[in-house]
Structure 1
Amino acid sequence: MYSQEETLRSTIDKSLKVIRLYDWLLNLYVLDFFVDNHWTKLPLSWQECFQNITPQDLGNILSEVPTKHVLPLSFISLIKAVKSLSLPRDKISNKNKIGLLLSEDICNGHPRLKNLFLKHVKLKKRHEICLMSKVVSGVAVESKCDAVVDFGSGLGHLVRVLAYNNNLYAAGIECQSQLTEEARRLDLQLEYTASKHLSEKNMSNFHRPIHLNMTLTSNTQLDEVSLPETMKSYGLIGLHPCGDLGPLLIKHFVNCDKVKYICVVGCCFMKLTCEGKDCGYPLSEFVKGLNNELSYVSREISCHAIDIYLERLRKDNYDNLKVHAYRAALERILVDYDPKLKHAPVRNIKHSDTMTFQQYSTQALSRLNIPLPACFARGEADLRQWRRVVTLYTLRLALAPLVETVILLDRVLYILEHGLSCEIHPVFDPKLSPRNHIIVGKRL
């Protein structure tokens, strides 16, 4: 019977070995499809197979729908390996409907107050806040700790739920002062509305969250945060902290006895620092001893929404995905015109079925102070290969869950190596919130 750490080490080791075999695919940046002739870099058996497969068929294949196509054995083996090694992405329970999650026990169950926490919040954020607050409040009870600090709290939507609805002492820390001021205003607005329906006694039981400003550059800074007596010990949470911020929070949890638990959902892995003493990846001693390199482009694609993308392919709704081919065709024209323009920051343009390549190029280059290249005929010719561009992007995306798995399990293993309890679970609906895994560490 393998221990949790042994299982994680084995999974990470095998995952990195698969990634090493397919670095060549992960590192084929779609932007350079025509410049570097990426299609010819696929194995011949893959070229022959995929040039006759529609994007819809490829979406079905990667979604494990039976196919009549004869697939290369190397491709089948890769997909099976990614599936068996990657963290599961289906959320734990799909019984709760989003609209009901925040209507239970809101502000003492008053029916007129059930939507207080839904104001100013978009659907995706509602979903995340609802489920994150349930996880955090449950872990707080298990840890016998009724205080929580949310780093990167933004407008304070999550801490507002945890404080007013889950009765926790909550603090939000945000680097942008204007967001902090708006969060305080929203707190007062909530209390004003609640006071019209609740008794003074019920109102007096509310825990108003506190909001602080700080830009975190090291995990030791959190030791200097001035918190009230009710928060001598606390849990630390982060809902999609960007880049190195997630690892910084994890390091603080590991090194500070005051932090009783952590709930963190990672994001923006391409912004991770991967070298130096204080790098964000790798964290664990085990992974540091492996051939652990994850390139920028591999970490960047690991943040893409594979579930949403495959659904679009399967539903034959991929015309908007042609924008990858438009940008790649424009890249070849720019590089031919002036090699110094390679990867120039052109304007993002949403693709339209009625948009010509010349129209796209004119809009995309509107912010660059360069004369518009006139050789649109070559771009139009390249665009006849748009299905190949979509196919290559899809093949790279098939590896994305494995890269994300390595990054996340490295964090879990780092916590375990320090003798603390740690688990990881898919909690959000991946079609609403693609980075849907919550790492939960506890100091019991």
Structure 2
Amino acid sequence: TGCERVVDIGAGQGHLSRFLAFGLGLSVTAVESDGRLAGLAERFDQELLRELGNTRGLGREPLTPRAPRHVAGRLDPAAPGGDFLLPPNPPGPGPAARNPLGGPGGSEDGGRVLLTGLHACGDLGPALLCHFARSPAVAAVALAGCCYMKLSTAPQAPGCPLGYPLSASVAALPGHQLSYRAREAACHALEEYEGRLRGGSAHLRAHCYRAVLESLIRAADPGKRHLGLQPGRKAHALSFQQYAHLGLPLAGLDPAQVPLDSGAVGAMLEEQHKVVAFCTLGQLLAPAVETLILLDRLLYLREQGFHCALVPLFNPRFSPRNLVLVAARTPLATALAGLDKDSEDGDS
């Protein structure tokens, strides 16, 4: 696209921003809603700058000593491009940050910019696309989404934008609605799950643990369902009793009041193969759900006359959300041809 200015939305600890700035020499503004992460990203930048200073003159391939500029702020999905930042949450102690798309020409210096969002969570992805569509200063956008279960869907209060569907085409389809469960399943790592099935991984045990825990929670309090509990990342390494002692308090229940050693619990744990089969069916349908969400975003942009494409940019075993939606105000052929050349060079 010829852009040398990038605004990276949802930059987190700034890993992509650092690569674009130090590695490619681009002018990068990194926007992150969590001021703590923005501060951490700045610290990493300074560490890299010090390392570059220490290696200067040693004959190594130089990086550009040009750190990103970090901005703590949130994207306002309802605002036009020139006003797209809200204060960080929680608000920081310093003054409000200057808006990276707030200059006379739609950006700080009047130049055109590229918006990026690497694994933009939930409604952040649709908001980023809407700002691209509204702001002439944004020449192009590259978006890899994630956390589809956090998308806003109908019904919503008047004036609140939907994260899905975005396009008129999908909104007009009968039965286009996607449940929370369907959108959550679309976020899983299918290739990793396949490997666990083939190897009989102990990680599969966690599915049964969660199903049994759900049954116990409902029996104790029928009003508590699908609470999104996260008892730990290594649930498969625990006994069920250990797992339940971590999970029940998260649901507001006392483990001492729940019969964890009953015959009924033992019988449910023996049904692990059925739970895994059920989860596997969900995994098989997940790509269809993700495809619908991504095509909805692509159609939204095409309905407004933009040039766009879905590009499988990453190895899905490395990054399951590997499809990147790229869009521009000019034809993409040149940019995508360059991407193909980079891929060929990387494979050689």
State the TM-score bracket (shorter-chain normalisation): 0.7 to 0.9
For CA contacts below 8 A with separation 6 or more, give which structure has more relative contact order: 1
Q: Which residue, out of 250, 254, 271, partners 2:150?
A: 271
Q: Which residue, out of 49, 60, 66, partners 1:207?
A: 66
- Contact kept, 8 Å, 2:117 with 2:143, in 1: the verdict is yes
Q: CA deviation at 1:182?
A: 2.3
Q: CA deviation at 1:221?
A: 5.6
Unpaired segments of 5 or more residues in structure 1?
Answer: 1-142
* Post-superposition CA distance 1:151-209 (Å, at most 9, x none): 1111222111111221111110111222222222222222222123337xx99964332
What secondary structure sits across from 2:79 in the alignment?
A: helix
- Contact kept, 8 Å, 1:169 with 1:230, in 2: the verdict is no
What secondary structure sits across from 1:171 in the alignment?
A: strand
Q: CA deviation at 1:334?
A: 3.4
- Contact kept, 8 Å, 2:196 with 2:203, in 1: the verdict is no
* More divergent stretch after superposition (280-289 vs 336-345): 336-345
Q: CA deviation at 1:322?
A: 1.9
Q: Which residue, out of 283, 307, 325, partners 2:208?
A: 325
Q: CA deviation at 1:226?
A: 4.3
CA change 1:316–1:250 in 2 (3 A) is same
Does the alignment pair 1:259 with 2:138? yes
Matches within 5 A, 1:18-29: none
- Contact kept, 8 Å, 1:155 with 1:182, in 2: the verdict is yes
RMSD of equivalent CA atoms: 2.5
Q: CA deviation at 1:382?
A: 1.6
Determine the structure 1 residue equivalent to 2:217.
334
1 CA distance for matches of 2:307 and 2:228? 44
* More divergent stretch after superposition (387-396 vs 376-385): 376-385
- Contact kept, 8 Å, 1:331 with 1:342, in 2: the verdict is yes
Q: Which residue, out of 250, 257, 266, partners 1:372?
A: 257
2 CA distance for matches of 1:194 and 1:376? 61
Q: Which residue, out of 293, 300, 305, partners 2:189?
A: 305
Question: Highest Rg: 1 or 2?
Answer: 1
CA change 1:354–1:153 in 2 (3 A) is closer
1 CA distance for matches of 2:302 and 2:16? 27
Q: CA deviation at 1:353?
A: 6.7
Does the alignment pair 1:155 with 2:10? no
CA change 1:208–1:342 in 2 (3 A) is closer
* More divergent stretch after superposition (333-342 vs 391-400): 333-342
Matches within 5 A, 1:177-326: 177-198=35-56, 206-218=65-77, 220=79, 222-224=81-83, 225-226=99-100, 230=109, 232-275=111-154, 276=156, 278-291=161-174, 292-317=176-201, 319-326=202-209
Determine the structure 1 residue equivalent to 2:308.
422
CA change 1:161–1:326 in 2 (3 A) is closer
Determine the structure 2 residue equivalent to 1:107.
none
Q: CA deviation at 1:354?
A: 7.1
Pairs aligned (count) = 298
1 CA distance for matches of 2:28 and 2:246? 46
Does the alignment pair 1:145 with 2:14? no
CA change 1:192–1:363 in 2 (3 A) is closer
Q: CA deviation at 1:296?
A: 0.8
CA change 1:344–1:205 in 2 (3 A) is closer
Structure (1/2) with the larger helix percentage: 1
2 CA distance for matches of 1:203 and 1:354? 47
1 CA distance for matches of 2:264 and 2:217? 12
2 CA distance for matches of 1:426 and 1:219? 29
CA change 1:345–1:294 in 2 (3 A) is closer
Identity %: 37
Amino acid at match of 1:216: L
Amino acid at match of 1:243: G
2 CA distance for matches of 1:329 and 1:204? 52
CA change 1:260–1:346 in 2 (3 A) is closer
CA change 1:345–1:399 in 2 (3 A) is closer
Amino acid at match of 1:208: A
- Contact kept, 8 Å, 1:169 with 1:231, in 2: the verdict is no
Q: CA deviation at 1:325?
A: 1.6
Unpaired segments of 5 or more residues in structure 2?
Answer: 84-98, 102-106, 331-348
Matches within 5 A, 1:52-71: none
Determine the structure 1 residue equivalent to 2:91.
none
* Post-superposition CA distance 1:375-419 (Å, at most 9, x none): 621010122211011101101110000000000011111111111
Q: Which residue, out of 400, 404, 407, partners 2:293?
A: 407
- Contact kept, 8 Å, 1:330 with 1:379, in 2: the verdict is no
Q: CA deviation at 1:229?
A: 5.1
What secondary structure sits across from 1:395 in the alignment?
A: helix
